[in-house]
């Protein structure tokens, strides 16, 4: 009656084979996790760099909205006396028109 011996030997061999497969799959998953963590760190670095660039763009946009209109108004005021400034503004699509201010009425 060697049949139970062969069955238990085959079951043991199958268990050993399955444990080796499980070990190999676990090692493979660990290496994939490590690679994925490295890629996530690189991605986070890129995201931080993009966020810093966006903050710089937003700061520049805010400054241009504050300073731009005032600078353009000053340039328009100086173009009344300076033809080169007037030509420069006209070249870029800004036509300066001088409005006559009414003279104060005499009492």
pLDDT band at 102 (very low <50, low <70, confident <90, very high): low
CB 38 within 8 A of CB 51: no
Q: What is the pTM of this model?
A: 0.47
Average pLDDT score, the chain: 88
CB 92 within 8 A of CB 76: no
SS3 45: helix
Cα separation, 32 vs 99, in Å, equals 73
Closest CA to 72 of 39, 54, 94: 94
Over residues 8-57, the pLDDT tens digits come to 999 999 999 999 999 999 999 998 999 999 999 999 999 999 999 999 99
Over residues 57-71, the pLDDT tens digits come to 999 999 888 888 888
Over residues 8-19, the pLDDT tens digits come to 999 999 999 999
């Amino acid at each position: 009656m060697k049949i139970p011996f062969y069955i238990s030997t085959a079951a043991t061999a199958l268990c050993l084979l399955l444990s080796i497969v499980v070990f190999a799959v676990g090692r493979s998953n660990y290496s994939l996790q490590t690679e994925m963590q490295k890629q996530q760190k690189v991605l986070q670095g890129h995201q931080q760099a993009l966020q810093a660039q966006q903050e710089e763009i937003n700061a520049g946009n805010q400054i241009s909205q504050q300073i731009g209109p005032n600078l353009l108004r000053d340039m328009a005021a100086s173009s009344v006396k300076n033809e080169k400034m007037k030509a420069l503004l006209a070249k870029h699509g800004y036509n300066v028109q001088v409005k006559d201010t009414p003279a104060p009425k005499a009492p």
